[in-house]
Structure 1
Amino acid sequence: MSRVLIAGESWVTQSTHIKGVDSFTTSSYVVGVEPLRRALESRGHQVRHLPAHLVPAQFPADADALAAYDVVVLSDIGANSLQLAPEVFERAVPGADRLGALRGWVGDGGGLLMVGGYLSFTGFEAKAAFRNTVLHEVLPVELLPEDDRVELPAGACAAVTAADHPALGGVTGEWPPLLGYNRVLPRPGTEVLATLGSDPLVAVAPYGSGRSAVFTSDCSPHWAPTPFCEEWDGYARVFGGLVEWLAR
């Protein structure tokens, strides 16, 4: 059993309704982590989810806090949310270098997985911004300086390039289509285990005494539609395999 922290995979949506000369707004809170949480828990892992709105205040600030976990998963949560704790952003008080602490923790033996989304890697309008941080060097891939999203509205299936790698969890057969991903470039020494087109979908590499991995598409809608994240038994194998490889 591994102890897994998943940060991100939730959001608040606000809609404006206009009816003639009148208008009003409604808000909703959406949690997208459930397919990933269920998949990992089904394989015996202990999962803590830190929703996106709590990341700025509660993400582990140092090696001691990170030591509570074997694997950290960042999914659809931008670098600003990890860097800008409330005391830093709102009160201009120096705080912890949490991305620096995460880099050091991986280098000392931790496992890091980044999952794709509009606020992963470089992200929508480059707002995820991990390329500009110290965490960039931990990832097994090079990030683009511009918006890196590739939308695949007709869907595309992954091509597995290393089916026997343990990080894929022994999954076999064709993968269901995905609807998009973040484009990245492999670094020297990176093992690319699956691709979408010519771009990495799953890639892994060592970092210091630890390990890092990426899944450049999503773990929930919209890039990961229901046939992929809810109906395919390979979903738990792939994400379980990644977590188990990262946690050794």
Structure 2
Amino acid sequence: MKILFVGESAVVHTVEYKGYDSFSATRYGEAFPAMGQMLRSLGHEVTHIPCHLVYREFPRTLEGLQDYDVILFSDVGSNTFLLLPDMLSTGKPVPNLLKLVCRYVEQGGGFAMIGGYMTFQGMDGKGKYKNSVLEKILPVELYYGDDRQETPEGTYLRCVPDSHPILMGIPAEMPYILGYNKLKAKSGAQVLIEEEGDAILSVWQWGKGRVVAYAPDCAAHWAPKAMTEWEYYPRLWDNMVRYLGGEKMRS
């Protein structure tokens, strides 16, 4: 699969106070490399666009998006796609990148939104995907406001093995996660994993394409080492991107 992975990066600015004095520091970090390495080791071609480069590198045409079999959004908010610097500086219209994603899926592309503090609704509702054009193609309904479900005690996941192509070869007992975005499955969606009525992993068809909503993060802290170093973790993601791209699962 040819995958476009968007997000999982941050510029972090800190201020330290030491009595009367203080100083600040700025650093840049990415949670993407481990995911990228894993997907590439499975034979997939992966292009990564960090959050701060979406305005410059995310395709602005349907044809550009169709160069990819699968698009993954992880921990990147809707404003990053909608408030583009050239629009703000010139006042001139620019393509609506979220509408482009919808058209991409309608015409056969695969799309997944992965949980985090800036996807779905996220921390303080700042992901802002509720009532966006992208919400209509998701197999889940988003809640208003902050939708984080922090579970520091650990939430252990279970599935029905081989009940769906994404779960082929995945055992029933899965590792724990430390949180997720609270999501409600829409009518017509297929929920593959749930927790007390919350849709953890859900899928459906939209137009000619397929869409996945994965409520936990793909990296820390919601996806701790117990999950990311699980022997079946690569299989789960391989199944997911192959399903999204319309490729037959491996037996």
- Asked if TM exceeds 0.5, the reply is yes
CA contact (8 A) 1:111 1:212 kept: yes
Distance in structure 2 (CA, Å) of the matches to 1:233 and 1:86: 42
Match of 2:236 among 232, 235, 238: 238
Distance in structure 2 (CA, Å) of the matches to 1:90 and 1:5: 27
CA contact (8 A) 1:107 1:208 kept: yes
Give 2:242's aligned amino acid. E
Give 2:143's aligned amino acid. L
User: Paired residue for 1:203?
Assistant: 202
Distance in structure 2 (CA, Å) of the matches to 1:68 and 1:89: 28
The two structures, once aligned, show a CA RMSD in angstroms of 1.3
CA contact (8 A) 1:122 1:146 kept: yes
CA contact (8 A) 2:158 2:172 kept: no
Q: How does 1:2-151 map to 2 (within 5 A)?
A: 2-151=1-150
Give the secondary structure class of the aligned counterpart of 1:88: helix
Shift of 1:161: 4.2
Distance in structure 1 (CA, Å) of the matches to 2:52 and 2:173: 36
Give the secondary structure class of the aligned counterpart of 2:173: coil
Give 1:99's aligned amino acid. L
CA contact (8 A) 2:111 2:212 kept: yes
CA contact (8 A) 1:118 1:124 kept: yes
Give 1:226's aligned amino acid. K
TM-score computed with the length of structure 1 as normaliser: 0.95
Give the secondary structure class of the aligned counterpart of 1:130: coil
CA contact (8 A) 1:36 1:239 kept: no
Distance in structure 1 (CA, Å) of the matches to 2:138 and 2:7: 18
Give the secondary structure class of the aligned counterpart of 2:12: strand
CA contact (8 A) 1:35 1:219 kept: no
> In percent, how many aligned pairs have the same letter?
37
TM-score computed with the length of structure 2 as normaliser: 0.94
Distance in structure 1 (CA, Å) of the matches to 2:61 and 2:171: 39
CA contact (8 A) 1:70 1:111 kept: yes
The total of aligned residue pairs comes to: 246
Shift of 1:164: 2.7
Distance in structure 1 (CA, Å) of the matches to 2:12 and 2:196: 32
Distance in structure 1 (CA, Å) of the matches to 2:47 and 2:190: 28
Give 2:33's aligned amino acid. E
The verdict on how the C-alpha distance between 1:29 and 1:95 changes in structure 2, with shifts beyond 3 A counting, is same
Distance in structure 2 (CA, Å) of the matches to 1:46 and 1:196: 32
User: Paired residue for 1:227?
Assistant: 226
Give 1:238's aligned amino acid. L
Distance in structure 2 (CA, Å) of the matches to 1:119 and 1:134: 16
Give 1:41's aligned amino acid. R
CA contact (8 A) 2:139 2:189 kept: yes
Q: Mark the runs of 5 or more structure 2 residues left unpaired by the alignment.
A: 247-251
Shift of 1:169: 4.1
CA contact (8 A) 2:161 2:169 kept: no
